[in-house]
Structure 1
Amino acid sequence: MTPRSFVAALADVQLHDVFNPYRDHCELHDLANAPATRRKNLRDYLAAVESLGTDTIWMGRDLGYRGGRRTGLALTDEARLPMFAAYYPGFAPSKATKGPSVAERTAAEIWAVLARLERPPLLWNVFPFHPHDADDPMTNRRFAARELSEVTDLNRTLITWLGIRRIVCIGQDATAYAATFGVEVQCVRHPSYGGVTEFRQGMQRIYGEEMKPVEASPQAALF
């Protein structure tokens, strides 16, 4: 498996009421070449992760309409795009949408912790697309079991290909699913809906002394 073949396989997936950022174009927000831009972003990101020898995934549930739907990168909003080069050498993603960059609170919390680590994880989701309510694309909903079945083989391929040894689940939705891949699984509270403090404490518990002090992080102001 290569970044190009993996992203091409993702781009082939087409589901009803699911926005696939690697094949679909949002008429409201996207630039004309947005799907191609997001495909390149993900290819380059996976190549950088592979070069780093990253063996840990932080796994969320699915892409949100303010974050990964726009960027094509899990747990990442447009406000975080300029930070990638500092933590994933050789990777500088491009913005795929029109207008000002959009920020997302979950992405801010994720990146505030990531910025305190010497070796960053692969950011990924159980369901790597954006499921939305029927006829309302700017909403978030939980994926259905039949939708998840379309990507399980791809997730398994990703984990095997990159030699992933640990999955840190961001929220309970990912926990049972991650356990099926035969790697170490740990779970922290999702930072949304009042879970910020428990999320930070959970990451501190997992990483302990591996985490740099807050003042050493470029995102210290978020803590």
Structure 2
Amino acid sequence: MVDTGRFWELLRALPVPQDAEYLYGDDPHGRLREANLRHYLELLADIGPRVMLVGEAPGYRGHTVTGVPFMSMRQVGARPGLITGRPEGDGFTPPEAPAATWESSSDTVWSAMADWRGPLPLFWGVYPLHPHEPGRPATNRTPRAAEIAAGTPVALALAEAFGITTFAAVGRKAEAALSRNGIPATPIRHPAQGGARIFTTQLAALNEAQQHPRPS
């Protein structure tokens, strides 16, 4: 059994600036996102991931809509389910009036996952709030250094709960955040802004290395 209590404790304790959004609040959409995230973590606990794919922050078209990292409406509603393979889907609850129905990064990640061998990776970001431009929640902004420093312990608590020892950092900010905490991570190009092909190639190489680890 995976105990995520410390993860949730740290997540809820994060300060929320005016230009960021806490996704799991006590409102209908927040409760739906939390239910989806808890369901995602339960599904991954059954799988037993060995790798954690660490991104940057939730995007307004994907994670911010569904509550699940690297999953937009397209992924949570997929038939068969992308995680379980069940014909009826993975059992997530989609919002009734989503702000967006798809996200390019989520599409790229799960397209690459189609060729992944072994247990699926665990997904999370170094900043778990949705950072946006002031007064414009339907935008994304780069998280500040202080925000990443505050958010990284949340990701590490999740990794500890799952017993993760192998990390892949999607983007330089995630790689730098893990490095500052003494955690080596395989660097993976972020799929946004023309990086989809490189992301897919590097992820395949990581997966191949997991299948054929070097002798110690």
Calculate the TM-score normalised by the size of structure 1: 0.80
1:196 alignment partner in structure 2: 196
Deviation at 1:146, TM superposition (A): 2.3
Pick from 16, 23, 26 the counterpart of residue 25 of structure 2: 23
Structure 1: gaps spanning 5 or more residues = 26-32, 212-223
Q: Deviations over 1:18-52 (max 9, x none)?
A: 11111176xxxxxxx21111111111111221222
1:123-134 superposed matches below 5 A: 123-134=123-134
Deviation at 1:147, TM superposition (A): 1.9
1:29-48 superposed matches below 5 A: 33-48=28-43
- Give secondary structure in 2 for the equivalent of 1:92: coil
- Give secondary structure in 2 for the equivalent of 1:124: strand
Name whichever of 99-108 and 15-24 sits farther off. Answer: 99-108
Q: Deviations over 1:99-120 (max 9, x none)?
A: 5861111110100111222321
Q: Deviations over 1:77-116 (max 9, x none)?
A: 1111134844247952111251586111111010011122
1:78 alignment partner in structure 2: 73
Deviation at 1:59, TM superposition (A): 1.3
- Give secondary structure in 2 for the equivalent of 1:169: strand
Q: Distance in 1 between matches of 2:15 and 2:151?
A: 11
- Give secondary structure in 2 for the equivalent of 1:103: coil
Q: Distance in 2 between matches of 1:52 and 1:191?
A: 25
Provide the alpha-carbon RMSD of the alignment: 2.6
- Give secondary structure in 2 for the equivalent of 1:168: strand
Deviation at 1:198, TM superposition (A): 1.2
Q: Distance in 2 between matches of 1:162 and 1:185?
A: 17
1:91-130 superposed matches below 5 A: 91-98=90-97, 102-117=101-116, 118-130=118-130
Query: Do the aligned partners of 1:3 and 1:43 also contact (CA within 8 Å) in 2?
Result: no
- Give secondary structure in 2 for the equivalent of 1:62: coil
Q: Distance in 2 between matches of 1:136 and 1:100?
A: 13
Query: Do the aligned partners of 2:149 and 2:177 also contact (CA within 8 Å) in 1?
Result: no
1:195-214 superposed matches below 5 A: 195-208=195-208
Q: CA 1:151–1:101 in structure 2 vs 1: closer, same or farther (change >3 Å)?
A: closer
Query: Do the aligned partners of 2:55 and 2:171 also contact (CA within 8 Å) in 1?
Result: yes
Q: Deviations over 1:53-91 (max 9, x none)?
A: 112111111011111111111111111113484424795
Query: Do the aligned partners of 1:87 and 1:115 also contact (CA within 8 Å) in 2?
Result: no
Deviation at 1:148, TM superposition (A): 2.4
Q: Distance in 2 between matches of 1:18 and 1:99?
A: 19
- Give secondary structure in 1 for the equivalent of 2:126: strand
Percent identity among equivalent residues? 25
Query: Do the aligned partners of 1:71 and 1:78 also contact (CA within 8 Å) in 2?
Result: yes
Q: Distance in 2 between matches of 1:159 and 1:79?
A: 26
Structure 2: gaps spanning 5 or more residues = 212-216
Q: Distance in 2 between matches of 1:100 and 1:126?
A: 23
Calculate the TM-score normalised by the size of structure 2: 0.82
Q: Distance in 1 between matches of 2:81 and 2:65?
A: 19
Deviation at 1:199, TM superposition (A): 1.3
Query: Do the aligned partners of 2:4 and 2:158 also contact (CA within 8 Å) in 1?
Result: no
Query: Do the aligned partners of 1:49 and 1:88 also contact (CA within 8 Å) in 2?
Result: no
Deviation at 1:3, TM superposition (A): 3.8
- One-letter code of the match for 1:133? E
